[in-house]
Amino acid sequence: PVMKNKEMLKSFAAILLFTILAAADAESHLLVKSQCKCMTVTSKSVVSVLPNGGRVEQLMRDIHIIVPTRSRENISDPTSPLRNKFVYKISDFCKNCNQKPTLPTEPQCKPPPPPADTCYGRDI
């Protein structure tokens, strides 16, 4: 029984190592960058090698959201009350996507700008 646990641990460590190495080689693509909503979404394809020699390709999405705790309901009015509700509909941001951006730093998805009263930060 002890030998089986060591073998399983070695197999798990090998799979984890291959996954980490595959993730390090993957190129990340910027999908959405919204300074109004303080959100960035990137994606990349990660290829994992299975113990039996097979390969599995997975799509990873990294969603980075900064919640501005001192944001006002109306960001243009410093006397408006603090915002306590933040709504993020990721599907709305992934509309109007191009498969190939012209620049690597340019987002692939360009959703229409939200109304000013739903912005959590200022667009720069």
Paired tokens of 116: 């000013």
Which runs of E-coded beta strand occur in the chain? 29-34, 39-49, 55-65
21's enclosing H/E stretch is helix 2-25
Render pLDDT for 62-72 as a digit per residue (tens, 0 to 9).
888 888 878 88
**In the beta sheet, which residues pair with residue 34?**
39
- Sequence-distant (6+) residues with CB within 8 A of 106 are 30
Q: What is the dihedral of CA 30, 35, 36, 38, to 10 degrees?
A: 80
Render pLDDT for 45-59 as a digit per residue (tens, 0 to 9).
888 888 888 888 888
pTM of the model: 0.61
Q: Which pLDDT belongs to residue 4?
A: 66
How far is it, in rounded angstroms, from Cα 31 to Cα 96?
11
